């Protein structure tokens, strides 16, 4: 597992700075030319040209067994909510975290996940529904579970969220047993 941080410094593409003491993948301030994501080959080539790639800190345990566990992308802008999800799911899966819709799309472009947990209200920029719609267009993400986790609870909003491409909907605050059981069921199908 590798962590990267992209910082927009030189126009339409991006340069990297090494991450220090972070356990999550963090991608920030990406400037895109013509509203088009660079292809995976271009991103990976750019990464290999830089010497700023650091290995991620691993949680204690058998690395081989750890790699066999499903990988979930958690998209949440609130650190406390992210930590709560991490605590609930730490025995079930590996997780990587994004704080914005743009980060989530870029991370999905770079790596295949077994499931995504998507907050809907992500602050300024791309919201969770918009990020879900873009992610659904990426190869390999057409049918993976995307679980919307949001404070929005009205039936009309739930319908909009599901129509945007989320496969499941949970209201905040999360109830641990129901949430972990849903995630366990979704990940066992993979």
What predicted TM-score, i.e. pTM, was given to this entire model?
Answer: 0.67
Q: Which of 32, 55, 78 is the endpoint of a domain?
A: 55
Residue 8 confidence (pLDDT) above 50: no
Both tokens of 167, joined, read 């496969």
Residues 76, 13, single domain; the answer is no
| Count of the separate structural domains present in the chain | 2
Residues 12, 102, single domain; the answer is no
Residues 17, 98, single domain; the answer is no
Residue 22 confidence (pLDDT) above 50: no
Residues 37, 98, single domain; the answer is no
Specify the pLDDT at position 37.
56
Q: Which of 30, 55, 80 is the endpoint of a domain?
A: 55
Residues 34, 115, single domain; the answer is no
Q: Buried b vs exposed e over 145-181: b needs ≥16 C-beta within 10 Å?
A: bbbbbbebeeeebbeebbebbbbbbbeeebeeeebee
Residue 153 confidence (pLDDT) above 80: no
Q: How far is CA 100 from CA 123, 181, 190, in A?
A: 8, 26, 26
pLDDT tens by residue, 128-137 = 999 999 999 9
Higher pLDDT, 141 or 16: 141
Specify the pLDDT at position 36.
54
Residue 52 confidence (pLDDT) above 60: no
CATH number, residue 115: 3.40.50.2300
Residues 38, 68, single domain; the answer is no
| Structural domain boundaries enclosing 41 | 2-55
Residues 67, 103, single domain; the answer is yes
Q: Closest by alpha carbon to 172, among 188, 149, 145?
A: 149
Length of the chain measured in residues: 190
Specify the pLDDT at position 6.
42
């Amino acid at each position: 597992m590798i962590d990267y941080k992209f910082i927009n410094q030189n126009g339409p593409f991006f340069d990297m700075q090494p991450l220090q003491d972070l356990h999550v993948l963090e991608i920030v301030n990406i400037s895109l030319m013509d509203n088009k994501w660079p292809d995976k080959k271009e991103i990976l080539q750019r990464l290999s040209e830089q010497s700023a790639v650091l290995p991620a800190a691993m949680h204690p345990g058998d690395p081989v067994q750890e790699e066999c566990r499903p990988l979930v992308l958690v998209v949440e802008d609130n650190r406390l909510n992210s930590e709560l999800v991490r605590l609930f799911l730490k025995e079930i899966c590996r997780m990587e975290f994004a704080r914005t819709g743009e980060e989530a799309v870029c991370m999905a472009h770079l790596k295949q996940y077994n499931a995504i947990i998507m907050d809907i209200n992500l602050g300024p920029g791309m919201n969770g529904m918009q990020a879900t719609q873009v992610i659904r267009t990426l190869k390999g993400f057409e049918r993976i579970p995307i679980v919307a986790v949001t404070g929005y609870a009205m039936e009309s909003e739930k319908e909009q969220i599901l129509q945007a491409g989320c496969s499941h909907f949970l209201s905040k605050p999360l109830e641990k047993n129901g949430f972990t059981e849903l995630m366990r069921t979704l990940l066992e199908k993979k």
